[in-house]
Amino acid sequence: MFVVGGSASQLLSKELAKCLKAKLAKVEIKRFPDDECYVRVEDDIEGEDVFLVQTAWPDKNIVELFLLQDAIRECEVSSLTTVCPYFGYARQDKQFKPGEPISARAIARLVQMQTDEFITVDIHAPSVIDWFDNVSAKNVHAYPSIGRHLKGKGVELILSPDEGRADNAKRVADVVGCEADFLVKERFDGETVEMTPKKLGVEGRKVAIVDDIISTGGTIAKAAEQLRKQGASKIFAVCTHGVFAKGGLDKLRPVCDDICSTDTIENPTTCITVAPEIARIVQD
> Candidates 49-57, 73-81, 127-135, 216-224 — which segment interacts with ligand R5P by CB under 6 A?
216-224
> Candidates 62-70, 107-115, 150-158, 211-219 — which segment interacts with ligand R5P by CB under 6 A?
211-219
Return the number of the residue (149 or 165) whose C-beta is nearest ligand R5P.
165
Exposed/middle/buried for residue 197 (C-beta within 10 Å: 0-12, 13-18, 19+): exposed
Of 185, 198, 199, 229, the catalytic one is: 185
**Interface with ligand R5P (CB under 6 A), residue from 193, 232, 272, 282:** 193
**Interface with ligand R5P (CB under 6 A), residue from 15, 93, 212, 266:** 212
Min. distance of Cβ 111 from ligand R5P in angstroms?
21
Binding of residue 213 to ligand R5P (CB under 6 A): yes
Return the number of the residue (85 or 218) whose C-beta is nearest ligand R5P.
218
- Of 132-191, which residues contact ligand R5P (CB under 6 A)? 161, 165
Return the number of the residue (202 or 214) whose C-beta is nearest ligand R5P.
214
**Interface with ligand R5P (CB under 6 A), residue from 142, 214, 237, 275:** 214
**Interface with ligand R5P (CB under 6 A), residue from 215, 226, 240, 264:** 215
Min. distance of Cβ 212 from ligand R5P in angstroms?
5
Q: Report yes or no: 209 and 161 within 8 Å, Cβ to Cβ.
A: yes
Min. distance of Cβ 54 from ligand R5P in angstroms?
21
Return the number of the residue (134 or 192) whose C-beta is nearest ligand R5P.
192
**Interface with ligand R5P (CB under 6 A), residue from 15, 64, 156, 211:** 211
Q: For the packed helices 59-74 and 103-112, what is the interaxial angle rounded to 10 degrees? A: 20
Active site residue 185: yes
- Count of other CB atoms within 10 angstroms of residue 21: 8
Min. distance of Cβ 161 from ligand R5P in angstroms?
5
Min. distance of Cβ 102 from ligand R5P in angstroms?
18
**Interface with ligand R5P (CB under 6 A), residue from 54, 112, 219, 273:** 219
The full 3-state SS of the chain, as one line of letters, equals CEEEECHHHHHHHHHHHHHHCCEECCEEEEECCCCCEEEEECCCCCCCEEEEECCECCHHHHHHHHHHHHHHHHCCCCEEEEEECCECCCCCCCCCCCCCCCHHHHHHHHHHCCCCEEEEECCCCHHHHHHCCCCEEEEECCHHHHHHHHCCCCCCEEEECCHHHHHHHHHHHHHHCCEEEECEEEEEECCEEEEECCCCCCCCCEEEEEEEEECCCHHHHHHHHHHHHCCCCEEEEEEEEECCCCCHHHHHCCCCCEEEEECCCCCCCEEECCHHHHHHHHHC
Q: Report the catalytic residues.
A: 185
Chain residues that interact with ligand R5P, rule: CB under 6 A: 161, 165, 193, 211-219, 248
